Structure 1
């Protein structure tokens, strides 16, 4: 990171950090998003653990807080610093603080536009969306250093985003027919496209029913035609392999989503379990070696 983009994360007490907290939170929430000033500051603030991101000159550029109710909130980054990893660093510092305190889980209310951001850090949506300060929000939760249960399609999408975002050199996907409702969602397709476009990651997708995905014009097929060096498809043909009921996605950095029944959303996920991810990739390998390349996908015109 160049000096112009350098920043650091600093813990802060409420009274000590109040002037800098105001500079960021009021700029983002009150001025930019229109949250009433009276709603921005609450009785929890004095009892929270606050973190402040500062630029190379020490000026505040981002904030976040951890409340006594074991929730993360008031995550804000000044517009000119977005997309530079500041939010990710703030969130990681707050989760690490929760871990230090011995907390087993943390929750948060994510603005709807930020669900993907929190999903990439392992948070899963819980319950229905709701309005808070006039803005649509989604409750999300992370179990720290533990498997997180996936209980809905929305949670499966979030878990997939987390596993894809964590991949570096390898991403393996085992699926029945490219999971309609999951692997065809725009957020997931965009995440896989960004990963493939980097040119550093081999993405292997193994299917049980390639014809069904082809008939459905699954968007990942078209994406593989544009990026054939990064995305490879194979189809399971051995009967014993076709009888395997599960589905999963696993990366080379310890992230996985495993669903015992591939036609259901329920399963488990964790982004920092290298042993489990390594096991799933070991399951994948012999299936992949016995499968046939999906040459029909290369010829398909969409």
Structure 2
């Protein structure tokens, strides 16, 4: 597993180990080797942007499956989230989804790895036309003309190259669970996470443990293609954000007009909150036999923030 110490990796490694899989997991920091051992994995330090480093790590592990969970969205790698300058903030993740994916696929081919699983994204970024809920048949929104375009093109790259290699891309919804939404909850409690306009934009969520269980199924079934890994209830910001605030014991979010949000936070934030499209999990339920433990963020937020 490339990216074993991220928010999802920490939940995924134990699930794989509990099902009898031998896991070699990577980290960029030698200081996190102990954590990987505690999770049950053999740890290896790897730079996902260095082809030699990736090739050596894969050759040494000789895995049957590579699971690509590398991102660069942590405070350490990217700093505080910055939607107004999305293109700059997302550079580490963009590189890992382009260069990093290519390095892993090259290493997989060189060592005869039979299956490849990669992380995609299905939160608010469905194509902004037609209905509010999208399937795997609908294209992702490439956000042309905005600072999110480079990130969306990186997601398309992952789906294109992994698909050609006969692998699977799991489009995860917005993560919540242990450590995944601390920054957002803090903003909500400070009333710095407002509703924008009518807040009609949809989003899809998934608990980290449910994302991990879907990934285990994709590994074991050698799934191919693209799957939306989201809960059962895509919903507009006007519903999920006030509920998140209530679960966090915070006051109801303030509401700001779109023109002010565009000025303060940029076009991408406005699109997310007013025009975003959510996603359906019907294919994952049908073809993978996946059943999320948290079918709705309504239950999940309440339990996580109790």
**Do they fold alike, i.e. is TM over 0.5?**
no
| TM-score of the pair, normalised by structure 2 | 0.29
Of the two, which has the highest radius of gyration?
A: 1
| TM-score of the pair, normalised by structure 1 | 0.29
Greater helix content: 2
Higher relative contact order (CA 8 A, sep 6+): 2
